[in-house]
Amino acid sequence: MKIISSALIFSVALAVLACSTPPSEFGVYRQSDGTVGVHAPKSAKDTEAQAAAVEECKKLGKRSATILETRKTVNDRFPITYIYMCNTY
């Protein structure tokens, strides 16, 4: 019984990971004003874009990211760009 429940939990976890957008699909960049931009693909969720921004903020010694702006673009690969401000808290 324990093996079956462990296998079930493992398969559910894999299914959740399979549904998310891979980090390599995002275009993350730092702007000259200190903010972080994230180019997101069509399939991406807002929370996935924020997770990509938080990873970039951690490289800068910050702990979190707050969204400042969302822009639609004419780029077919990255139709939405998010702008985040890195925070120390």
Rounded to a whole number, what is the distance in angstroms from the first to the last CA of the chain?
43
The answer as to whether 30 is a domain residue is yes
Domain boundaries, position 31? 23-87
The answer as to whether 16 is a domain residue is no
The answer as to whether 18 is a domain residue is no
- Rounded CA-CA distance 21/39 in Å is 13
Q: How confident is the model at residue 21 (pLDDT cuts 50, 70, 90)?
A: low
The answer as to whether 14 is a domain residue is no
Residue 20 contacts residue 54 (beta carbons within 8 Å)? no
Q: Determine how many CB atoms are found less than 10 A away from the CB of residue 28.
A: 19
- Rounded CA-CA distance 84/53 in Å is 7
The pTM of this model reads 0.71
Number of domains in the chain: 1
36-82 pLDDT, tens digit each: 999 999 888 999 999 999 999 999 999 999 999 999 999 888 999 99
The answer as to whether 60 is a domain residue is yes
23-34 pLDDT, tens digit each: 678 999 999 998
The answer as to whether 4 is a domain residue is no
